[in-house]
Structure 1
Amino acid sequence: MSDQKNYTYAQAGVSIAAGNALVRAIGPLAKSTRRAGADADLGGFGGVFDLKAAGFTDPLLVAANDGVGTKLKLAIDYNAHDGVGVDLVAMCANDLIVQGAEPLFFLDYYASGKLVPETAERVIASIAEGCRQAGCALIGGETAEMPGMYADEDYDLAGFCVGAVERSQLLDGSKIRPGDVLLGLGSTGVHSNGFSLVRRLAADKGWKMDRPALFDQEVILLDALMAPTRIYVQSLLPQLRKGTIHGLAHITGGGLLENVPRVLPEGCHAKIDAGSWPLPRLMAFLQAQGNIEPEEMARTFNCGIGMVAVVSPDVAEAVKTELYDAGEEVFVIGEVVEGERGCTVFGDGETWSARGEWSATHNA
Structure 2
Amino acid sequence: MDYRKAGVNIDEGNRLVEMIKPVAKETYIPGVMAGVGGFAGLFELSNMKEPVLVSGTDGVGTKLKVAFMADRYDTIGIDLVAMCVNDVVCSGARPVFFLDYFATSKLDAAKAAAVIRGIADGCKMAGCALLGGETAELPDFYSGDEFDLAGFAVGVVEKNRIITGRGIKEGDIIIGLPSSGLHSNGFSLARKVLFEKMGCHVDSYIGSLGTTLGEELLKPTRIYVRDVLELIEEVEIKGVAHITGGGFYDNIPRILPDGLGAIIRKGTWPVQPIFYFIGDAGEIEEREMFRTFNMGIGLILITSPESADKVLTVLDNMRKKAYIIGNIVRREGVEIV
TM-score normalised by the shorter chain: which range applies?
over 0.9
> In 2, Cα distance between the equivalents of 1:192 and 1:321?
29
The residue number in structure 2 matching 1:29 is 23
1:17 to 11, 28, 38: 11
Q: Match of 1:206, as an amino acid?
A: G
Q: Match of 1:57, as an amino acid?
A: K
Shift in Å, 1:300: 0.7
Please say if residues 269 and 337 of structure 1, whose CA atoms lie closer than 8 Å, have aligned partners that are also in contact: yes
Indicate the larger mover: 201-210 or 120-129: 201-210
The residue number in structure 2 matching 1:63 is 55
The residue number in structure 1 matching 2:41 is 47
The residue number in structure 1 matching 2:134 is 142
Please say if residues 81 and 123 of structure 1, whose CA atoms lie closer than 8 Å, have aligned partners that are also in contact: yes
Superposition pairs of residues 212-231 of structure 1, within 5 angstroms: 212-217=205-210, 219-231=211-223
> In 1, Cα distance between the equivalents of 2:320 and 2:215?
21
Shift in Å, 1:317: 1.1
Overall identity of the aligned pairs, in %: 46
The residue number in structure 2 matching 1:207 is 200
1:252 to 231, 236, 244: 244
Q: Do residues 269 (structure 1) and 261 (structure 2) align?
A: yes
Shift in Å, 1:84: 0.7
Shift in Å, 1:39: 5.0
Structure 1 consecutive aligned stretches of length 4 or more whose deviation exceeds 4 Å = none
Shift in Å, 1:40: 5.9
Task: Say which one has the larger Rg.
Answer: 1
3-state SS in 1 of match to 2:42:
coil
Please say if residues 66 and 217 of structure 2, whose CA atoms lie closer than 8 Å, have aligned partners that are also in contact: no
Q: Do residues 173 (structure 1) and 165 (structure 2) align?
A: yes
Change (3 A) 1:304 1:86: same
The residue number in structure 2 matching 1:279 is 271
Please say if residues 9 and 15 of structure 1, whose CA atoms lie closer than 8 Å, have aligned partners that are also in contact: yes
**What value does the CA root-mean-square deviation take over the aligned residues?**
1.2
Superposition pairs of residues 157-168 of structure 1, within 5 angstroms: 157-168=149-160
TM-score, with normalisation over the residues of structure 1?
Answer: 0.90
Q: Match of 2:25, as an amino acid?
A: K
> In 2, Cα distance between the equivalents of 1:265 and 1:178?
10
1:248-274 Cα offsets, whole Å, 9 max, x none, are 000000001110110001121110001
> In 2, Cα distance between the equivalents of 1:19 and 1:317?
52
The residue number in structure 2 matching 1:304 is 296
1:12-60 Cα offsets, whole Å, 9 max, x none, are 11111100010000011100101111156311100001011xx322111
3-state SS in 1 of match to 2:149:
strand
The residue number in structure 2 matching 1:354 is none
Superposition pairs of residues 332-347 of structure 1, within 5 angstroms: 332-340=324-332, 342-346=333-337
Shift in Å, 1:243: 4.9
Shift in Å, 1:323: 1.5
Please say if residues 69 and 202 of structure 2, whose CA atoms lie closer than 8 Å, have aligned partners that are also in contact: no
TM-score, with normalisation over the residues of structure 2?
Answer: 0.97
Shift in Å, 1:208: 3.0
Change (3 A) 1:126 1:170: same
The count of residues paired between Structure 1 and Structure 2 equals 336
> In 1, Cα distance between the equivalents of 2:169 and 2:2?
64
> In 1, Cα distance between the equivalents of 2:327 and 2:119?
35
Q: Do residues 130 (structure 1) and 126 (structure 2) align?
A: no
Indicate the larger mover: 239-248 or 299-308: 239-248
1:80-112 Cα offsets, whole Å, 9 max, x none, are 211110000000000000011110100000000
Q: Match of 1:344, as an amino acid?
A: E
Unaligned runs of 5+ residues in structure 1 are 1-6, 347-364
> In 1, Cα distance between the equivalents of 2:40 and 2:34?
11
> In 2, Cα distance between the equivalents of 1:94 and 1:280?
21
The residue number in structure 1 matching 2:69 is 77
1:106 to 88, 98, 104: 98
Please say if residues 236 and 323 of structure 1, whose CA atoms lie closer than 8 Å, have aligned partners that are also in contact: no
- Larger RCO (CA under 8 A, 6+ residues apart): 2
Shift in Å, 1:321: 2.0
